[in-house]
């Protein structure tokens, strides 16, 4: 697992809050595209590159 500064797909950054200071970045199992839940189907689990819903969460983006 690695820590990123922003989503490699859209540039989204994490914000500090009382509940969480990070979000997961999904890695598509089909094509390897990294994306956050801002993309894809309604719950953000569809790859914006190949439309696959098979992914793993290897990375996190933390607030600075």
The pLDDT tens digits of the residues spanning 18-38 come to 888 999 999 999 999 999 998
Which pLDDT band holds residue 12 (cuts at 50, 70, 90)?
Answer: very high
According to the model, what pLDDT value does residue 61 have?
95
Name the pTM for this structure.
0.84
- Higher-pLDDT residue of 19, 6: 6
pLDDT for residue 40 is more than 80: no
Per-residue three-class SS string for the chain: CEEECCCCCCCCCCCCCCCCCEEEEEEECCCCCEECCCCCCCCCCCCCCCCCCCEEEEEEEECC
């Amino acid at each position: 697992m690695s820590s990123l500064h922003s989503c490699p797909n859209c540039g989204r950054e994490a914000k500090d809050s009382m509940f969480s200071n990070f979000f997961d970045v999904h890695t598509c199992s089909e094509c390897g595209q990294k994306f956050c839940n801002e993309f894809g189907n309604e719950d953000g689990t569809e790859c914006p590159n190949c439309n696959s819903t098979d992914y793993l969460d290897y990375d996190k983006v933390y607030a600075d």
